[in-house]
């Protein structure tokens, strides 16, 4: 008999799981979410604000896709789970009975208890409601401050800049994202930020936000006061564990799961941003908060949910981003600080940069960073996985190019000359 | 403190609008002069007012474009969905009505354009030795639009060499092969011939009437026939095999040239729905059938000395010329830019695109490859695909894009913020790579296959629209 699989959260994790469950089984699938009626790309939030796209363009599937594929969508907020009765309580008073339940509740913006963090005009950026709020909060303002030098922070700075709102960008570190990026990469981004006319304040933290009802100014750790009518708090995100906690499921920073995404309660699973792998889990990163990892989790947990218990295994790490106009891709292991066993080769030509790391002793290639150039993921991954020697990689680097036709080959020429 | 904030505003905000205002003022003057020419009834010298108009429009555009140079190079579609002109707002509809109205006057009552036409006489005498007619006026406006908006493209995409070369190419072909050479040929007493258009887009180039006029007409006629035949029968399939339909649609063709330059601000207005795709396939192939049938009938009739179906073939060809050649390609094709995007004709109507599309789909090395699992499903690629291809559908599951309608403009790859897409020519094997697994080491293809066998798969939903059968296992 067809079971009923209920998924909380219609982000990339929940939706990927729903799609694969539909493909693998005839079970009933219901996706509950309080944010939007349909799945949209959270990664595209910035483009809506900048006017590149509207909400409807950010939806990866047409609205009729869901009913055609018999994926039932429910708009509502899940307040509690009753694991004994196997039902989920929805805020509107309805109960949804499940045979198996997947929590894919995502993340929430961090707030660190700054004085004034609850004033009007102060907000984070995570979901559609935040975007609506930001639209309202930034109307006719003269100056904005963005706090926190991560990926969402720089996106927010770019968003405001696109609306011609002058931005001061407070970054705790010595150089933008130097905790993740080697110094040359980080320097390129500092330059990119400055070229766009953003007032970048490095080594600067937020001390407090001033204002009576709405934000009027921020005070920084450098004891400066910056007048502003909007403060964007983008100092990272944390897993959204509200529902799990309220329902007696084991949580730590995230919802604790094993490599099968099983939580501490039977028939309840958690995946994506909200999940935290337990100690005997996998790899060093216990919480994975990326679009790509959400998609991978969703796909694997779907198999388990359909009765084919499949462990999650991490592959060669990859990620990408765009900092204003600067594209960035990374494959494998490229730490910010050079480590003794790593030999790092850097090829740079103006705003184009290519870094290739290899093992100092064996010469095996370990990782790639590309800025302003595009690399082919399959190729980089194959080289890393098979431990190809750096010599061979440099000799056949052309195979990994993914740039548009006629694109400058300056960095590849440098690499080939080694 | 207030003061400090407003100072900052001056350096980026207010400055922008002042600059913009000057540019718009020049454009306003240009439009006014155009209106005066149009309505002038000869009270003012139309050559002078038209020249003034063009000077105003060109200067204004130049000022606005110069502003773009001050911004860092890179994709910038800021505010595209906020501006009325580019988001089907009031300004967009007005533009659409003006464009459509111009085509209607041009085709049906050119006498209304008399003053504008007289305004171009001087130029017409200079390059083709005779007075202007409405087609000269049209050709001039068309070419200017491609050139001016081409310069805008060159500035907007100045950090992307593919876009630069492609834009220079369409500007060159429009100015040289679709404007200067045909007019110079008239000057030299040759047939007015367009080297960059072939059957079935230029449908009458393979019609018996053109054959007889070229073979009996002066000079180069035989060579021109030879050119048409070679381009249609040999060059088209060969070039499409190696490069895809882009060699023509986004590098050479004049309709494509206008779409890629003047149409660039409207490219995102194309309909991306599966429904629109279905309509497109029906429509464009119907037009192709229509033109083939018409051409065959005309030859049959010619061969039988007028015996085939009496005057039917003439009637057929007149209808084709009217509905497809005039209304579809012109009035709707260009007039509706601000409403339906820049490639309405190319997508739904052009029989040349249909032929190139069939070749591209089944017999070409061209494809757009995707970069593993890097897609974040943001939707920029689909949004800015002027052909209404839902590029993201393929990209997010790591599948190559092999679509008949893709004109290879490269814009999806240009706007993609994650470097996911690449236009490539490569071997035919594995061109249709199917939805590949995207970076999940835990699931080898083999595991997936055995899994499929051990549990029944859901029957695919709604096979008629491939875009809806989600089978990326
Ligand atoms: C602005 C921004 C840009 C980003 N850009 C990138 C990028 O470029 N690359 C990248 O790899 N990652 C990026 N990320 C991170 C990425 O978007 C997330 O990792 C990913 O969306 C997580 O997916 P998820 O499905 O696990 O959770 P989410 O997408 O957060 O989905 C969870 C959903 O569940 C809903 N929900 C939560 N609790 C309940 C409840 N109790 N009842 C009902 N509904 C509930 C939430 O409202 C939400 O809609 C970005 C994130 C943001 C905010
Ligand atoms: S798929 Fe890409 S290259 Fe093809 S027409 Fe669309 S935007 Fe242009
Ligand atoms: S291919 Fe690029 S532009 Fe298209 S959805 Fe994916 S990331 Fe966005």
B258-273 pLDDT, tens digit per residue, is 999 999 999 999 999 9
Residue B273 burial class via C-beta count within 10 angstroms: exposed 0-12, middle 13-18, buried 19 and up:
middle
Model confidence band, residue B42 (pLDDT cutoffs 50, 70, 90): low
B429-460 pLDDT, tens digit per residue, is 888 877 764 443 333 222 333 333 333 333 33
Nearest to B392 among A60, A307, A313 (CB): A60
Mutate to test the interface with B, among A316, A320, A372 (most CBs of B within 10 A): A320
**Helix (H/G/I), strand (E/B), else coil: A409:** coil
Pair of tokens at residue B472: 């990326």
Which chain A residues in 54-83 lie under 8 Å from chain B, judged by CB atoms? 54, 57-60, 62, 65, 68-70
| A399 interfacial to chain B (CB closer than 8 Å) | no
A318-340 pLDDT, tens digit per residue, is 999 999 999 999 999 999 998 99
Cα A68 to chain center, whole Å?
30
**For A4-108+238-305, CATH number?**
3.50.50.60
A115-143 pLDDT, tens digit per residue, is 999 999 999 999 999 999 999 999 999 99
Top-level class of domain A122-235: alpha beta
**Per mean pLDDT, which range of A80-84, B63-67, B318-322 is the poorest?**
B318-322
Average pLDDT over residues A366-372: 97
A241-259 pLDDT, tens digit per residue, is 999 999 999 999 999 999 9
Q: Is the pLDDT of residue B17 over 70?
A: yes
Pair of tokens at residue B252: 């050479």
Average pLDDT over residues B408-414: 98
**For A318-416, CATH number?**
3.30.390.30
A205-222 pLDDT, tens digit per residue, is 999 999 999 999 999 999
Q: How far is CA A17 from CA A31, A220, A295, A306, B449, in A?
A: 10, 43, 8, 10, 18
Residue B111 DSSP code: G
Nearest atom within ligand 2 for CA of residue B408: 3
Which among B338, B367, B369 is positioned nearest to B246, based on CA atoms? B367
Place of tokens 């991978």: A296
- What percent of chain A lies above the pLDDT cut of 70? 99
Residues 6+ apart with CB under 8 A from A161: A167, A196, A197, A198
Domains A122-235 and A318-416 share a fold: no
Domain boundaries along the sequence of chain A: 4-108+238-305, 122-235, 318-416
Over chain B, what is the mean pLDDT?
Answer: 85
Model confidence band, residue B7 (pLDDT cutoffs 50, 70, 90): very low
Model confidence band, residue B8 (pLDDT cutoffs 50, 70, 90): very low
| Ligand 1 within 6 A of CB of A14 | yes
Q: What is the pLDDT of residue B455?
A: 32
- Identify the residue whose C-alpha is closest to ligand 1 atom 9: A291
The span from the CA of B157 to the CA of A178, in Å, is 30
Q: Is the pLDDT of residue B1 over 70?
A: no
| A325 interfacial to chain B (CB closer than 8 Å) | yes
Q: What is the pLDDT of residue B473?
A: 31
Q: What is the pLDDT of residue A212?
A: 96
Which among B264, B259, B265, B228 is positioned nearest to B350, based on CA atoms? B259
Domain boundaries along the sequence of chain B: 17-70, 84-344
**Per mean pLDDT, which range of A59-68, A217-226, B313-322 is the poorest?**
B313-322
Average pLDDT over residues B370-392: 97
Contact A128, A36 (CB under 8 A): yes
Which among A10, A11, A6, A12 is positioned nearest to A27, based on CA atoms? A6
Q: Which residues of A touch B471 (CB under 8 A)?
A: 23
Residues 6+ apart with CB under 8 A from B228: B198, B199, B205, B206
Over chain A, what is the mean pLDDT?
Answer: 96
Shortest CA gap B2–chain A (Å)? 7
Contact B380, A46 (CB under 8 A): no
Model confidence band, residue B464 (pLDDT cutoffs 50, 70, 90): very low
Q: What is the pLDDT of residue A283?
A: 61
Nearest-by-CA chain A residue for B469 = A69
Shortest CA gap B27–chain A (Å)? 24
The span from the CA of B193 to the CA of B224, in Å, is 8
Q: Are strands A365-371 and A326-332 parallel, antiparallel or unpaired?
A: antiparallel
Rounded to the nearest whole angstrom, what is the distance from the C-alpha of residue B347 to the centroid of ligand 2? Answer: 12
Higher pLDDT, A218 or B302: A218
Rounded to the nearest whole angstrom, what is the distance from the C-alpha of residue A375 to the centroid of ligand 2? Answer: 20
Average pLDDT over residues A61-87: 96
**Per mean pLDDT, which range of A164-168, A186-190, A247-251, B10-14 is the poorest?**
B10-14
């Amino acid at each position: 008999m067809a079971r009923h699989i209920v998924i909380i959260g219609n982000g990339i994790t929940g939706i990927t799981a729903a799609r694969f469950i539909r493909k693998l089984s005839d079970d009933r699938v219901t996706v509950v979410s309080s944010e939007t009626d349909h799945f949209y790309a959270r990664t595209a939030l910035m483009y809506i604000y900048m006017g590149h796209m509207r909400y409807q363009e950010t939806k990866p599937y047409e609205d009729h896709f869901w009913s055609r594929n018999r994926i039932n969508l429910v708009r509502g907020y899940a307040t509690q789970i009753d694991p004994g009765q196997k039902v989920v309580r929805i805020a509107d008073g309805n109960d949804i009975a499940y045979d198996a339940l997947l929590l894919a509740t995502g993340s929430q913006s961090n707030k660190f208890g700054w004085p004034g963090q609850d004033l009007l005009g102060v907000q984070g950026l995570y979901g559609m409601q935040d975007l609506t709020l930001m639209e309202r909060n930034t109307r006719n303002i003269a100056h904005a401050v963005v706090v926190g030098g991560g990926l969402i922070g720089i996106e927010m700075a770019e968003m405001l800049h696109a609306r011609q709102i002058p931005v001061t960008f407070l970054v705790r570190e010595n150089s933008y994202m130097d905790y993740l990026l080697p110094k040359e990469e980080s320097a390129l981004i500092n330059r990119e930020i400055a070229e766009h006319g953003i007032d970048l304040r490095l080594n600067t933290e937020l001390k407090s936000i001033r204002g009576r009802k709405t934000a009027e100014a921020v005070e920084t750790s450098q004891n400066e006061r910056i007048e502003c009518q909007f403060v964007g708090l983008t100092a990272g995100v944390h897993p959204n564990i509200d529902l799990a906690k309220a329902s007696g499921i084991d949580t730590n920073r995230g919802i604790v799961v094993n490599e099968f995404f099983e939580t501490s309660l039977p028939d309840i699973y958690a995946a994506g941003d909200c999940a935290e792998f337990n100690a005997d889990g996998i790899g060093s990163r216990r919480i994975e908060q990326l679009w790509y990892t959400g998609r991978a989790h969703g796909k694997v947990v779907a198999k388990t949910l359909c009765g084919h218990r499949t462990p999650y295994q991490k592959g060669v790490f990859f990620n990408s981003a765009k900092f204003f106009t600067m594209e960035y891709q990374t494959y494998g292991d490229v730490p910010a600080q050079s480590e003794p066993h790593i030999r790092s080769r850097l090829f740079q030509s103006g705003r184009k940069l290519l870094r290739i790391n290899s093992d100092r002793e064996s010469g095996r290639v370990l990782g790639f960073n590309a800025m302003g150039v595009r690399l082919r993921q399959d190729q980089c991954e194959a080289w890393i996985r098979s431990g190809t020697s750096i010599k061979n990689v440099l000799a056949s680097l052309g195979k990994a190019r993914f740039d548009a036709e006629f694109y400058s080959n300056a960095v590849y020429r440098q690499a080939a000359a080694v | 403190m207030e003061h400090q904030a407003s100072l900052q505003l001056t350096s980026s905000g207010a400055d922008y609008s002042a600059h913009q205002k000057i540019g718009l003022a020049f454009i306003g003057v240009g439009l006014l002069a155009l209106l005066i020419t149009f309505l002038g009834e000869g009270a003012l010298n139309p050559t002078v007012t038209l020249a003034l108009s063009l000077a105003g429009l060109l200067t204004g555009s130049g000022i606005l474009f110069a502003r773009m140079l001050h911004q860092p190079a890179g994709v910038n579609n800021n505010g595209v969905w906020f501006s009325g002109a580019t988001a089907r707002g009031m300004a967009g509809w007005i533009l659409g009505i003006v464009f459509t109205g111009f085509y209607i006057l041009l085709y049906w009552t050119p006498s209304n354009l008399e003053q504008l036409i007289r305004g171009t006489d001087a130029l017409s005498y200079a390059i083709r030795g005779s007075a202007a007619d409405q087609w000269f006026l049209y050709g001039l406006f068309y070419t200017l639009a491609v050139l001016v908006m081409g310069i805008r493209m060159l500035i907007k995409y100045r950090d992307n060499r593919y876009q630069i070369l492609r834009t220079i190419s369409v500007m060159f072909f429009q100015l040289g092969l679709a404007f200067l050479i045909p007019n110079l040929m008239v000057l030299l007493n040759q047939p007015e011939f367009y080297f960059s258009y072939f059957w079935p887009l230029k449908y009458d180039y393979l019609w018996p009437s053109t054959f007889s006029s070229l073979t009996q007409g002066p000079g180069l006629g035989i060579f021109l026939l030879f050119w048409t035949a070679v381009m249609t029968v040999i060059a088209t399939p060969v070039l499409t095999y190696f490069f895809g339909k882009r060699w023509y649609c986004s590098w050479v063709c004049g309709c494509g040239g206008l779409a890629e330059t003047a149409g660039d601000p409207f490219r995102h207005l194309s309909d991306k729905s599966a429904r629109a795709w279905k309509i497109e396939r029906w429509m464009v192939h119907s037009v192709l059938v229509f033109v083939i049938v018409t051409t065959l009938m005309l030859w049959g009739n010619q061969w039988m000395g007028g015996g085939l179906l009496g005057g039917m073939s003439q009637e057929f060809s007149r209808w084709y010329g009217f509905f497809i050649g005039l209304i579809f390609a012109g009035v709707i094709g260009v007039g509706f830019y601000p409403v339906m995007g820049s490639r309405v004709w190319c997508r739904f109507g052009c029989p040349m695109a249909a032929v190139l599309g069939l070749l591209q789909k089944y017999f070409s090395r061209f494809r757009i490859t995707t970069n593993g699992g890097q897609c974040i499903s943001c939707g920029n690629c689909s949004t800015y695909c002027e052909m209404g291809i839902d590029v993201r559908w393929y990209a997010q599951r790591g599948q190559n894009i092999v679509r008949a309608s893709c004109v290879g403009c490269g814009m999806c790859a240009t706007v993609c913020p994650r470097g996911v897409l690449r236009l490539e020519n490569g071997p035919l094997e594995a061109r249709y790579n199917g939805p590949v697994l995207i970076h999940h080491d835990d699931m080898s293809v083999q595991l997936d296959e055995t899994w499929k066998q051990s549990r029944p798969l859901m029957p695919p939903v709604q096979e008629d629209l491939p875009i809806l059968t989600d089978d990326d296992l």
